[in-house]
Amino acid sequence: MRRFSALAALLALLTLTALPSTGRAQEAAGGDGAAVSAAGAESAPEQVLAEEGAAQLAPGSTTSTIDYAAWERVAVRAEQAVEAGRASDQALQNLRSELVGWREVFTRARADNQVRITTLRTQINTLGPAPAEGETEPVVISETRLELTRQLEEAQAPVKAAELALARANALINQIDSTLRARQTDALFALGPTPLNPALWGKAAEELLTTFNLSWAGVTSSWQTETQRAELRKNLPAALVLAVLALVLLVRGRIWVMRVGVKMRERGSGATLDVWSFILSLGQVLLPFFGLVALMEALRLTGALGLRAQLVADTLPGAGLLFFTARWIGNRVFGQPGADWQVFDLTPARRTEARLYSATLGFLLGLYAVLQRVMEYESYSDGSRAVLLFPVLGAVAFLQFRLGQILRRHAREVTGEGEEGGGFLARSAGFVGLLLKIVGVLGPVAVAIGYTGLGDRMLIPTVMSLGLIGVVLALHHFFVDLYALVVRADQAQAQEALVPVLASFVVALLAIPVLALFWGARVTDLTELWTTIGQGVTIGDTVIALSDLITFAIVFAIGYAATRLVQGTLKSTVLPKTRLDIGGQNAISSGIGYVGIFVAALVAITSAGINLSAFAIVAGALSVGIGFGLQNIVSNFVSGIILLIERPISKGDWIEVGGQMGFVRDISVRSTRIETFDRTDVILPNSDLISGVVTNYTRGNSVGRVIVPVGVAYGTDTKKVEDILREIANNHPLVTVNPPPSVFFMEFGADSLNFEIRAILRDVNFKLAVHSEMNHEIARRFAEEGIEIPFAQRDIWLRNPEVLAGAVAPPPAAPKPKARRKPAARPDETDTAAARAQLDVEDMQDTHGYGKEDSEDD
Task: Give pLDDT tens digits for 687-745.
Answer: 888 888 888 887 767 788 899 999 999 989 999 999 999 999 999 999 998 889 999 99
Q: Could you report how far apart the first and last alpha carbons of the chain are, in Å?
A: 92
56-70, 425-439, 683-697: least confident range: 56-70
Task: Of 71-85, 255-269, 822-836, 842-856, give the range with the top mean pLDDT.
Answer: 71-85
- Beta strand 537-539 with 542-544 is antiparallel
Confidence category of residue 629, pLDDT binned at 50, 70, 90? low
Query: What was the pLDDT predicted at 816?
Result: 52
| Confidence tier at 34 by pLDDT (50, 70, 90) | very low
By the 8 A CB rule, do 640 and 669 touch?
A: yes
**Rounded to the nearest 5°, which phi and psi values hold at 742?**
-125, 150
Q: Using an 8 Å Cβ cutoff, are 106 and 162 in contact?
A: yes
CB 663 within 8 A of CB 690: no
What's the rounded mean pLDDT across residues 34-38?
34
812: pLDDT confidence band, cut at 50, 70 and 90?
low
Average pLDDT over residues 768-783: 92
Per 3-state DSSP, what percentage of the chain is helix, strand, and coil (rounded to 5)?
Answer: 70, 5, 25
Look at residue 833 in the predicted model and tell me its pLDDT: 43
Q: What per-residue confidence (pLDDT) applies to 288? A: 93
What CA–CA distance (Å, rounded) separates 109 from 119? 18
pLDDT exceeds cutoff 90 at 35: no
Q: How far apart are CA 313 and CA 296, in angstroms?
A: 6
Question: Alpha helix locations (H) across 450-573?
Answer: 452-487, 491-496, 498-518, 523-535, 546-569
Q: What is the pLDDT of residue 411?
A: 86
Whether the pLDDT of residue 538 is over 60: the answer is yes
Whether pLDDT at 1 is above 90: no
Phi-psi map region of 416: left, alpha, beta (phi>0 left; psi -120 to 50 alpha): left
Mean pLDDT (the chain) is: 79
Distance, in Å, from the CA atom of 665 to the CA atom of 515, rounded to the nearest integer, reads: 50
> Is the pLDDT at 469 greater than 70, yes or no?
yes
189, 369 contact by CB (below 8 A): no
CA distance 706 to 721: 19
Please give the average per-residue pLDDT across 400-405, as a whole number. Answer: 94
- Mean pLDDT, rounded, for 85-90: 88
pLDDT of residue 617: 61
User: Do 718 and 745 contact (CB within 8 A), yes or no?
Assistant: yes
- At 776 the pLDDT is 94
pLDDT at 376 over 70: yes
Entry field: residues in the chain? 858
CATH class of the structural domain 630-699:
mainly beta
| Position 811 confidence tier, pLDDT thresholds 50, 70, 90 | low
Over range 357-372, report the average pLDDT: 94
Q: What is the mean pLDDT of residues 210-214?
A: 88
**What mean pLDDT comes out for the span 319-346?**
85
Residue with the bigger pLDDT between 365 and 48: it is 365
d(CA 813, CA 15): 117
Residue 309 has pLDDT above 80, yes or no: yes
pLDDT given at position 45: 36
| Predicted confidence (pLDDT) at residue 303 exceeds the cutoff of 50 | yes
Per-residue pLDDT at 501 exceeds 80: yes
> How high is the pLDDT of residue 562?
92
Contact in structure between 334 and 354 (CB atoms under 8 Å): yes
Domain ranges of the chain: 6-13+198-224+305-524, 31-188, 538-610, 630-699, 704-785, 794-808+825-858
Lowest mean pLDDT among 204-213, 271-280, 310-319: 271-280
Top-confidence residue, 755 or 300: 755
By percentage, how much of the chain surpasses pLDDT 70? 80
Contact assessment for residue 90 and residue 28, using Cβ atoms and an 8 Å cutoff: yes
Angle, CA of 707, 709 and 713, to the nearest 5°: 160
CATH fold label, 704-785:
Alpha-Beta Plaits (3.30.70)
Tell me which of 46 and 269 has the higher pLDDT. 269
Encode pLDDT of 566-575 as tens digits: 988 888 888 8
Mean pLDDT of the region 86-91: 88
DSSP symbol at 103? H
At residue 536, the pLDDT reads 65
Are 406 and 374 a contacting pair, CB within 8 Å?
A: no
Q: Are 753 and 745 in contact (CB under 8 A)?
A: yes
